[in-house]
Amino acid sequence: MERIIFLCVVSACLASVHTQTFLLNPKWSPIGYKEHDVQGGNTAMDEIIKTNENQASRILDGTTSLRDGDIAVSAGKRSKVCFARSCLWSKSVDGHVYIAYKLSPEYSELEKNQIVKGMENVERDTCVRFVPWTHQQDFIDIQPKSGCWSYLGSRGGRQTLSLQSPNCLQVGVISHELMHALGFVHEQSRIDRDNYVTIMWENIWRDRLRNFQKFKTDNLGLPYDYSSIMHFGMYAYSQDGQPTIIAKSSKDVKLGQTSILSQIDKMKINKLYQCGWCDDDDYYSK
């Protein structure tokens, strides 16, 4: 009898372990989307795609939708297309660009600390400073809505930036969304991208072909950056596990970035906001 009870306890334990594994395993995906395990870690954009495709509706509300996977676009009077230089945050006389933010009270202290780490990532070696909102008219309202997304550049007034918990609270994802809020689009959206990467259209999930469009970007005179935190990973929106973007220089070039800003990302910020102490010569001589 004791033996039977022991076996029952063991099998109950195993069953509960199995159930937990199942519950914790985020393998569910929409039809047509094939997740790809990338050696050496996913890029920030891979994490965003995984979260947004599984959880965020492409239409956020009646008038706002997502473009290119994680850029919020509103219909109506504030729908002007905003690229680098056209929607800048204002600069202080002391040379810094102070961007006010509010954090939703729904975030725990740990989560708030994590978001601040993402901000520090963008502040490092740049003149951007994120400051808690006090009275500023323009500010970023960070909320755990559905998915990871941001508007492009400063829109004027309050603008939402969504960091769903816990999926969007990785430092790289937070930094990526803040870069959108600063005014940057995805690196492979650059008008000159076809000189540097090949888009493998036949491998892209059909419903997401539009996420690979090019824009008339202002590249600020900076080189194409394969390792930008704003670059899609090699398997972004792959429908069959095959690469969707390949570097022209070499198939071995890793695209995108997991958690840190690249050197050129920082230079982009410093050039766009004319930070004044960006030392290009130092970078190019490395």
120 is known as an active-site residue: no
Residue list, annotated binding site for Zn(2+)? 176, 180, 186
Q: How far is the CB of 93 from Zn ion (least distance, A)?
A: 32
**Residue with Cβ nearer Zn ion (16 or 146):** 146
**Residue with Cβ nearer Zn ion (70 or 123):** 70
Q: Which of 35, 53, 123, 177 is catalytic?
A: 177
**Residue with Cβ nearer Zn ion (136 or 219):** 219
Q: What is the largest CA-CA distance in the chain?
A: 82
**Residue with Cβ nearer Zn ion (35 or 70):** 70
Pairing of β 197-199 and β 245-247? antiparallel
d(CA 227, CA 229): 6
d(CA 4, CA 50): 44
Query: What angle, rounded to 10 degrees, do the helices at 109-123 and 171-182 form?
Result: 60
d(CA 92, CA 9): 66
Q: How far is the CB of 150 from Zn ion (least distance, A)?
A: 8
47 is an interface residue for Zn ion by CB under 5 A: no
- Which residues are bridge partners to 129 per DSSP? 98
Q: Which residue is nearest to Zn ion (CB)?
A: 70
Binding to Zn ion in span 57-76, by CB under 5 A: 70
Tell me the CA distances in angstroms from 260 to 140, 170, 203, 228, 279, one per residue in order: 21, 11, 28, 9, 19
Q: How far is the CB of 257 from Zn ion (least distance, A)?
A: 12
Residue list, annotated binding site? 176, 180, 186
d(CA 266, CA 121): 10
Q: How far is the CB of 4 from Zn ion (least distance, A)?
A: 57
Residues that are catalytic: 177
Residues within the interface to Zn ion (CB under 5 A): 70
